[in-house]
């Protein structure tokens, strides 16, 4: 049962979009609302939203306060699920976001928070478009489009308000030193959603990816030119060693033909490869790792080696490059570095004693 009604969303759309939210847009909102509610996923936990010390009943009440740009947005499960119910998600007690994109992840167990960089990724949403907007677009004119689908807290709130956009769900992408974690929130009932893989895919099938690699994948998804299902398939494939369309259909609970179509679109974009012998889809690592001598060497010569071998080599290079650190001070080495120690330590070694 959702806590935010269609009438409340309609009022907010009129407040933010003005005349653009006409009768045509109102009917479109009703269809989008009912469609989203019909696919409602069971929440992992309700959450509380606190901005600069003030608790807001829903995210929309915060969005409606046009003068508010919070210095901190504190989101915490209320109450948090037990550790064994989080599945693919990293358990947390509080997630604190700031306008500049920095964030603190407070663990369930006593201890200091982990600092990271956070971005808001727009998921399902409604953008008001009047009948005049649609007719102009149908005649070949410009159409009201989104300006940004991924950005900082400040940029996200500003874009939603200026465009009159109503987000139904958003994902918080948190880039930590060792990995990127993704938390998705249902804004209609103000809740934390479980990872779609939880209970449908063994956690052992998950492949560890670094924040740097995940950021390049997120940037592709953030362009907004992939369907929601294709974006979700790419996310799951990028964190696995490969999956079949049957496995992905089971993860997302949809019709296999729709998943097949989404996967073929990713193959055509050369973001994913398909092994016809096994029916396994794999993310193309070379589409996301930085270009350089190493990636060129892994691509092979003209005619190239077997694609499976090339992908495996790319994965090894990406992992080694991301984990490389200076043996003297422990600082991470920059991508593609051929030195053994970092520049600072090299300077100290070369300097006269």
Domain residue extents for the chain: 1-195
- Residue labelled with tokens 């004119």: 141
SS3 label, residue 216: helix
* Sign, CA torsion 330/336/341/346: negative
Q: Give the separation between CA 110 and CA 225, rounded to whole angstroms.
A: 42
Averaged pLDDT for residues 166-182: 94
Ranking 50-59, 278-287, 291-300 by mean pLDDT, the lowest is 291-300
Query: Is residue 39 pLDDT above 50, yes or no?
Result: yes
The pLDDT of residue 335: 55
| Helix-strand-coil split of the chain, %, nearest 5 | 40, 20, 40
Whole-number percent of the chain with pLDDT over 90? 60
Model pLDDT for residues 43-53, shown as the tens digit of each residue: 999 999 999 98
Confidence band, pLDDT 50/70/90 cuts, at residue 149? confident
Higher pLDDT, 57 or 147: 57
- Cis peptide bond N-terminal to 79, omega within 30: yes
Question: Hey, is 317 helix, strand or coil?
Answer: helix
**pTM for the model:** 0.80
Give the 3-state secondary structure of residue 145: coil
Q: What is the rounded distance in angstroms from the CA atom of residue 115 to the CA atom of residue 136?
A: 47
- pLDDT average, residue stretch 107-135: 91
Q: How far apart are CA 200 and CA 288, in angstroms?
A: 27
- In whole angstroms, what is the distance from residue 351 CA to residue 353 CA? 6
Whether the Cβ atoms of residue 149 and residue 246 lie closer than 8 Å to each other = no
């Amino acid at each position: 049962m959702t806590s935010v009604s269609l009438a409340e969303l309609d009022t907010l759309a009129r407040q933010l979009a003005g005349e653009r939210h006409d009768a045509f847009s109102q009917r479109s909102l009703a269809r989008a609302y009912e469609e989203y509610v019909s696919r409602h996923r069971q929440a992992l936990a309700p959450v509380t939203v606190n901005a600069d010390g003030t608790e807001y009943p829903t995210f929309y009440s915060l969005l409606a306060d046009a003068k508010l740009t919070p210095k901190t947005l504190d989101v915490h499960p209320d109450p948090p699920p037990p550790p064994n119910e989080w599945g693919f998600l990293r358990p947390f007690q509080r997630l604190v976001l700031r306008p500049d994109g920095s964030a603190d992840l407070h663990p369930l167990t006593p201890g200091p928070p982990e600092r990271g960089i956070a971005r808001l990724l727009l998921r399902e949403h409604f953008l008001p478009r009047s009948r005049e907007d649609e007719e102009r677009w149908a005649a070949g004119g410009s159409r009201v489009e989104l300006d940004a689908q991924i950005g900082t807290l400040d940029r996200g709130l500003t874009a939603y308000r200026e465009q009159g956009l109503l987000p139904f769900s958003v994902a918080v992408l948190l880039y930590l030193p060792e990995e990127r974690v993704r938390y998705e929130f249902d804004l209609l009932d103000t809740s934390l959603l479980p990872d779609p893989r939880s209970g449908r895919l063994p956690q052992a099938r998950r492949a560890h990816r670094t924040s740097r690699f995940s950021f390049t994948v997120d940037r592709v998804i953030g362009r907004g030119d992939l369907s929601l299902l294709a974006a979700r398939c790419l996310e799951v494939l990028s964190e696995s060693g490969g999956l079949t369309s049957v496995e992905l259909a089971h993860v997302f609970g949809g019709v296999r033909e729709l998943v097949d179509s989404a996967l073929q679109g990713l193959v055509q974009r050369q973001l994913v490869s398909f092994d016809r012998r096994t029916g396994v889809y794999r993310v193309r690592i070379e589409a996301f790792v930085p270009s350089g001598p190493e990636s060129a060497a892994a691509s092979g010569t003209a005619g190239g080696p077997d694609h499976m071998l090339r992908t495996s080599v790319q994965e090894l290079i990406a992992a080694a490059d991301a984990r490389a650190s200076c043996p003297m001070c422990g600082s991470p080495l920059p991508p593609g570095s051929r030195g053994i120690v970092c520049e600072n330590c090299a300077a100290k070694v070369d300097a006269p004693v």
